Amino acid sequence: MTRAATTEREEARADPRRPLAAAVVRLLVVYVGARVATGALLALAWALSRPGAPLAALSMNDGRPGLGGFLSAWDGRWFESIASGGYPTELPRGDDGAVVKNEWAFLPLFPLLVRGLSWATGGSFVVVGSAVAVVAGAVATVLLYLLVRDRVGDREGRHAAVLFAVGPMSFLLQVPYAEALSLALVFGALLALSRGAWGWFALCGVLAALTRPGALALAAALVGMTLWTLWRARAARGDGADRAHGRLVLTAGELARRGGAALAVALAGVAWPVVCAVVTGEADGYLETESSWWRDYGVGHDGFVPFTPWFAFAAAWLGPWGVVVVALAVVGMLAGIVAGWRRVGSTIALWTLAYAGFLVAVFLPQQSSFRLLMPLAPQLGHPALSATRARRTATVVGAAALTPVAVVLFWVVWPA
């Protein structure tokens, strides 16, 4: 652990620490109970959305018949296709010559892991994929608790983990999506960043880059943390705080380790478009594939330009006022991150800033945005959410109450 990481941990709000093992066991009990509940909700949603059932007219679920098909719908179909047949060597195109939706939009670690486990166990894609998601979700819950516990406090860590386990989008932690595995790796990387374990940070970050887009934000968070530490060291020296300055100084070796970890994750974060280009022979094949999903929303016809998707989407639906709305939303987001910086610590604040910036730079706002916000779960450790028993109860009950709504909206009606 580095001296800089130790300093920030010492600055985290001190409070009585529960025995770690007991807290983890309690969280896992909550997690299992939540998965039983969301599993029942998914089964009920399937029963109510079959032909002739009350929700049938609303259902756009594109899964095969049966509960297994229902659970492996939407992106699950693409992961199953990759697990069974890999990636196309030639990009499919529509009548207009534009690239259409295909497997290259999805990263390989989750489907290939499921493929290997299916071969070893004889299980189907939906069974093995769902099992991987459930286990990875449990790991993500524990790692989130440890991260917030380190940076904010034990009570806040437990509350954040419970909200994550029972929240509206938590049903995705038991369907064959890459989300749960990605979240476990991201939270693992952030915990390693918090503790100055750069080898673990690089390992988790590289694997995360092979699971879902967003690993570049991890590299950016590490760079930001390093710059923040250097700035604090300079400020401490200027104030004459020699003891604090000594704890914050980064040696050349420490800077090299941080730089190597950030570089490894950053290179992994841009590797997939290169792999797609090499296999398909089309340099912009990955970006064209991603843009094919955007055309359903009236944008993406003119190619990809960073930091424009949100503005293009808003302008297409709301006209010039849409651009103003997005600009105000970005300013509000930045203000919120800065305002809560000290209360959640620099690790969580910098991750929030980096990942939110990544979303604004490359993603199109749509119904999947709620799923894409799940990596920001460390913000659930904000002390304001758990300051009193009444707040803790209200937030947990409210999060759980929204879950049936989320299942219907984002699994029956629209793809999450």
Task: Give the model confidence (pLDDT) of 63-76 as tens digits.
Answer: 777 899 999 999 99
Q: For the residues of 267-299, what is the DSSP string, one character each?
A: HHHTHHHHHHHHHHS-TTHHHHHHHHHHGGGT-
87 half-sphere exposure, CB direction, 13 A CA radius: 21
pLDDT for 16 = 45
Question: Are residues 149 and 157 in contact, defined by beta-carbon separation less than 8 angstroms?
Answer: yes
The answer to whether position 132 is within a domain reads yes
Which of the four pLDDT bands, split at 50, 70 and 90, describes residue 97? Answer: confident
Residue 101, classed as helix, strand or coil, is coil
Count the neighbouring beta carbons within 10 Å of the beta carbon of residue 376: 14
The answer to whether position 309 is within a domain reads no
Q: How many angstroms separate the first and last alpha carbons of the chain?
A: 38
Euclidean distance between CA atoms 313 and 304, whole angstroms: 13
Q: Calculate what percentage of the chain has a pLDDT beyond 90.
A: 69
Q: Which of 145-149, 328-332, 404-408 has the lowest mean pLDDT?
A: 328-332
Q: What is the C-alpha radius of gyration for the chain, rounded to an integer number of angstroms? A: 22
Most distant CA pair in the chain, distance: 75
pLDDT for 300 = 62
pLDDT for 340 = 87
Q: Which of 13-22, 267-276, 320-329, 378-387 has the lowest mean pLDDT?
A: 13-22
Flag whether pLDDT at 308 surpasses 90.
no
Euclidean distance between CA atoms 176 and 106, whole angstroms: 13
Q: What's the per-residue H, E or C state across 150-162?
A: HHCCHHHHHHHHH
Residue 93, classed as helix, strand or coil, is strand
Q: Is 284 exposed, middle or buried (0-12, 13-18, 19+ CB in 10 A)?
A: middle
The answer to whether position 13 is within a domain reads yes
The answer to whether position 321 is within a domain reads no
Which of the four pLDDT bands, split at 50, 70 and 90, describes residue 99? Answer: very high
Structural domain boundaries, residue 78:
3-296+382-413
Q: Whole-model pTM?
A: 0.92
Question: Are residues 416 and 42 in contact, defined by beta-carbon separation less than 8 angstroms?
Answer: no
To the nearest whole number, what is the mean pLDDT of the chain? Answer: 90
Structure tokens at 94: 């529509």
In angstroms, what CA-CA distances link 123 with 82, 130, 369?
16, 11, 31
pLDDT for 250 = 82
Flag whether pLDDT at 242 surpasses 70.
no
Structure tokens at 13: 């709000």
Q: How many domains does the chain have?
A: 1
Structure tokens at 285: 């094949």
The answer to whether position 108 is within a domain reads yes
Flag whether pLDDT at 319 surpasses 80.
yes
Nearest partner of 149 among 353, 345, 376, 339, judged by Cα: 345
pLDDT for 247 = 55
The answer to whether position 7 is within a domain reads yes
pLDDT for 18 = 54
The answer to whether position 148 is within a domain reads yes
Structure tokens at 337: 């991150």
The answer to whether position 257 is within a domain reads yes
Count the neighbouring beta carbons within 10 Å of the beta carbon of residue 297: 15
Q: Which of 13-17, 236-240, 261-265, 311-315 has the lowest mean pLDDT?
A: 13-17
Q: Which amino acid is at 297?
A: Y
pLDDT for 14 = 43
Flag whether pLDDT at 266 surpasses 70.
yes
Q: Which of 53-57, 213-217, 251-255 has the lowest mean pLDDT?
A: 53-57
